């Protein structure tokens, strides 16, 4: 009787197929872990830099400064300083760079949502890229957004981002956003000036959308309530 050693061709094909499947699963798992790790690191970077700004503001009793002179040397397609070129750097210690070694930028050029709904309106920390280099960043954006904002999309919340990798763009983390006036809403008619001797009561308009005073609030009320239509109304 002869003994059979080794594998048949069919058995070898099965073994090779199993190894291939396991390798593919392992690579996919590794890729997902690597992606989630980078996204988590970026989210932590944003929050650490925000903490640095809060420490600076508490110590200086000042609001966020305008952009200083200087350009992030790693992203020259934008005229924004890198974080380490700002007054907050002593409160950060380390020079913060993204996973590809590019320094984060600081954006505060006075723009607001009324300027056209730009995603970088307000005061922001930004992970920037120049045209053609956005793909590697954009694929991480939804995971960063999920971590910080619960996944509310590219144009809402604290985390917003450019969706076209071929444009100059970035992933924005908002430190402070300006008031959002919804220009699609029909504005309330401007009230006529208040006659001498009369006053405005609760919820009556005291300042119109052009910041013109249109009446005096009655005693006990102040002109303070900013409403959805851009006016101010009397409130206690």
Per-residue pLDDT for 191 more than 60? no
Q: What is the pLDDT of residue 196?
A: 41
Closest CA to 127 of 117, 135, 137: 137
Residues forming beta bridges with residue 98, ordered by sequence position: none
pLDDT, tens digit, for every residue of 66-75? 987 789 999 9
Measured distance CA(67)–CA(89) in Å, rounded: 14
Among 30-44, 125-139, 161-175, the least confident range = 30-44
DSSP string, 60-77: HT--PPPPPS---TT-TT
Global confidence as pTM? 0.62
Read off the tokens for 191. Answer: 């009230």
pLDDT, tens digit, for every residue of 82-138? 999 999 999 998 889 999 999 999 999 876 544 445 788 889 999 999 999 999 999
- Mean pLDDT (the chain) is 80
Contacts for 173 with CB less than 8 Å, ≥ 6 apart: 46, 49, 50, 124, 125, 126, 127, 148, 158, 159
């Amino acid at each position: 009787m002869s003994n059979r050693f080794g594998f048949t061709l069919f058995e070898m094909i099965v073994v090779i197929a199993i190894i291939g499947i396991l390798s593919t699963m392992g690579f996919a798992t590794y890729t997902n872990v690597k992606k989630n790790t980078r996204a988590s690191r970026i989210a932590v970077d944003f929050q650490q830099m925000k903490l640095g700004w809060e420490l600076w503001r508490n110590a200086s009793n000042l609001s966020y400064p305008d952009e200083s002179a200087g350009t992030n040397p790693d992203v020259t397609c934008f005229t924004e300083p890198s974080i380490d070129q700002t007054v907050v750097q002593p409160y950060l210690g380390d020079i913060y760079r993204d996973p590809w070694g590019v320094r984060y930028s600081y954006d505060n050029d006075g723009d607001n949502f009324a300027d056209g709904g730009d995603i970088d309106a307000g005061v922001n920390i930004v992970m920037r890229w120049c045209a053609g280099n956005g793909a590697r960043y954009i694929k991480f954006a939804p995971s960063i957004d999920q971590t910080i904002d619960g996944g509310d999309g590219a144009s809402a919340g604290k985390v917003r981002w450019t969706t076209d990798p071929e444009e100059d763009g970035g992933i924005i983390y908002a430190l402070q956003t300006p008031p959002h006036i919804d220009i699609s809403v029909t504005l309330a008619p401007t009230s006529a000036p208040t006659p001498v001797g009369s006053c405005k009561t609760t919820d009556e308009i005291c300042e119109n959308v052009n910041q013109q005073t249109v009446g005096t609030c009655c005693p006990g009320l102040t002109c303070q309530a900013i409403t959805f239509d851009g006016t101010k109304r009397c409130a206690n």
